Amino acid sequence: MKITIFGSGYVGLVTGACLADVGHQVMCVDVDEDKVARLNAGEVPIYEPGLEDLISKNKAAGRIEFTTDAAKAIEFGLLQFIAVGTPSDEDGSADLKYVLKVAETIGQHMNDYKIVIDKSTVPVGTASKVERSVAAELEKRGVALEFDVCSNPEFLKEGAAIEDFSRGSRIVVGTDSERVKKAMLECYGPYNRQRDKVMFMGVRSAELTKYAANAMLATKISFINEVANLAERLGADVEEIRHGIGSDPRIGYSFIYPGCGYGGSCFPKDVKALAHTAEEIGHPAEMIKAVERVNARQKSKLFEKLCQAFDGQLKGKTIAIWGLAFKPNTDDMREAPSRELMEALWDAGARVQAYDPEAMDECRRIYGQRDDLVLAERRDDTLEGAHALVICTEWKAFRTIDFPELYQTLEEPVLVDGRNLFQPDTVKAAGLAYYGIGRGDSVRPVLA
């Protein structure tokens, strides 16, 4: 099958590489000439395990190519995936200018039947807008060509995107056209062998499914973080509670890990966008707004804990930070808790010595050279002259620490564990002060 993908960002590249790998012919198109040149030279501009190999293998086999030539790309595929960015507008709504620009371009250049597929996460009603944009361009040209628009949201997690694409729990397709259903079954057939994963539904249901899934997951995280904050003040340990509730299959163990707040490119943006849509239609989504508020508060926890540990005296202190990415196995620092922490520390006159296995370049790109930021070559180099260590991201390489040695190295023996990686008793036995999330002694309990 011939497939065109607009947008060679995260979603577009993963979709393109995976569809090429099962034998489809894929043409990826992007307006960024530099990016396309790099992709053609075999360089993948984002970090995602396995993606570079998958692209180079399929490029060598002639199944995937990259271009800036939109007209050629539109001519190429029956399926026209739109996988361009939908950044948050100032008011939290998703900005559709890039999506609608692609729709317009398709309308300007198509010469036969096309299926236009919304792959980017877009608000409910976007498929109708895309349809109107394509139709308006066709009308300007005075040509009568058939086309369909369908919604096919992605549920990829960064760091596991290829696995998620190939072995995801479902493939959601919003359409009421039999012609589209047949084409989408052909497109996703190779992923549909073990069991029927393709779920057809109404276009608007498919659009809302994506937001509902992300909002539900974000809700689980904010919920457990809220419980953690209660546990802290009531002298309980949220890790014991997590086991206690997760064992009930109706609740389950996943996505109830307390921490320093969710980040990334999806949850914060999608939760905001859904809350905005709800406001717009006059039905404020109280729970969704609360999920966002709890998360905003959670992101300031690490700084609060440091203030507690140092009686608010952070000026002149040096803080070691392990983990800059918003989660492990990515170099993505969008909405990462580490950013809020570093910025608060700088405002308070402290210095930061940080390390991340993948996100150091990204950190340099965001913050540039500054006197109060040292990016260390190795994890343990951050500890030299540091007063405290804060763990922001649960990379595997951070899971073992020689605590007696850490006690010797730090100027003040303080460990803030933003991901609850360690047992408080083990850390305290080495003489360190331990501040976890929702674990009794991070805050003086109010109950005697």
Q: Is 334 among the annotated ligand-binding positions?
A: yes
Residue 121 near residue 153 (C-beta atoms within 8 A): yes
Q: Does 221 bind ligand UDX (CB under 6 A)?
A: yes
Candidate list 18, 28, 187, 266, residue with the active-site label: 266
Q: Is 140 among the annotated ligand-binding positions?
A: no
User: Which of left, alpha, beta for 420 (phi over 0: left; psi -120 to 50: alpha)?
Assistant: left
Cα distance between residue 215 and residue 287, in whole Å: 10
- Minimum distance, C-beta of residue 120 to ligand UDX, in the bound complex (Å): 11
Q: Which is nearer to ligand UDX, 175 or 265 (CB)?
A: 265
- Minimum distance, C-beta of residue 22 to ligand UDX, in the bound complex (Å): 20
- Minimum distance, C-beta of residue 148 to ligand UDX, in the bound complex (Å): 24
- Minimum distance, C-beta of residue 217 to ligand UDX, in the bound complex (Å): 6
- Minimum distance, C-beta of residue 212 to ligand UDX, in the bound complex (Å): 12
Residue 31 near residue 68 (C-beta atoms within 8 A): yes
Q: Which of 264, 413, 418, 436 binds ligand UDX (CB under 6 A)?
A: 264
Q: Which of 17, 256, 321, 324 binds ligand UDX (CB under 6 A)?
A: 256
Residue 378 near residue 344 (C-beta atoms within 8 A): no
Q: Does 333 bind ligand UDX (CB under 6 A)?
A: no
Q: Which of 157, 197, 204, 289 binds ligand UDX (CB under 6 A)?
A: 157
**Cβ-count burial of 266 within 10 angstroms (0-12 exposed, 13-18 middle, 19+ buried)?**
buried
* Tokens matching residue 321: 């930070």
Q: Which is nearer to ligand UDX, 137 or 237 (CB)?
A: 237
Q: Give the angle subtended at the CA of 210 by the CAs of 84 and 212, to the nearest 5°.
A: 145
* Tokens matching residue 17: 């590489």
Q: Is 209 among the annotated ligand-binding positions?
A: no
Q: Does 81 bind ligand UDX (CB under 6 A)?
A: no
Q: Which of 147, 267, 355, 398 binds ligand UDX (CB under 6 A)?
A: 267
Which residue do the tokens 């389950």 mark? 252
User: Which of left, alpha, beta for 125 (phi over 0: left; psi -120 to 50: alpha)?
Assistant: left
Q: Which of 155, 395, 422, 435 binds ligand UDX (CB under 6 A)?
A: 155
User: Which of left, alpha, beta for 140 (phi over 0: left; psi -120 to 50: alpha)?
Assistant: alpha
Q: Which of 214, 229, 318, 442 binds ligand UDX (CB under 6 A)?
A: 214
If you write DSSP's letter for every residue of 227-245 in order, what string do you get?
HHHHHHHHT-BHHHHHHHH
* Tokens matching residue 262: 């969710």
Q: Which is nearer to ligand UDX, 96 or 161 (CB)?
A: 161
Q: Is 157 among the annotated ligand-binding positions?
A: yes
Q: Which of 305, 327, 339, 351 binds ligand UDX (CB under 6 A)?
A: 327
Residue 266 falls in the annotated catalytic set = yes
Q: Which of 66, 147, 262, 398 binds ligand UDX (CB under 6 A)?
A: 262
Long-range contacts of 212-219 (CB under 8 A, 24+ apart): 213/155, 214/121, 214/266, 214/267, 214/270, 214/271, 215/270, 215/271, 215/274, 215/288, 215/291, 217/255, 217/267, 218/262, 218/267, 218/270, 218/271, 218/291, 218/295, 219/287, 219/288, 219/291
> How does DSSP classify residue 88?
B
- Minimum distance, C-beta of residue 179 to ligand UDX, in the bound complex (Å): 27
Q: Does 10 bind ligand UDX (CB under 6 A)?
A: no
Q: Which is nearer to ligand UDX, 114 or 327 (CB)?
A: 327
Q: Is 155 among the annotated ligand-binding positions?
A: yes
Binding residues, by number, are 30, 35, 86, 121, 155-158, 210, 255-259, 263, 269, 327, 334
Q: Which positions are annotated as active-site residues? A: 266
Binding residues for substrate: 155-158, 210, 255-259, 263, 327
User: Using CB under 6 A as the criterion, which residues of the chain lie in contact with ligand UDX when the complex forms?
Assistant: 154-158, 214, 217, 221, 255-257, 259, 262-264, 266-267, 326-327
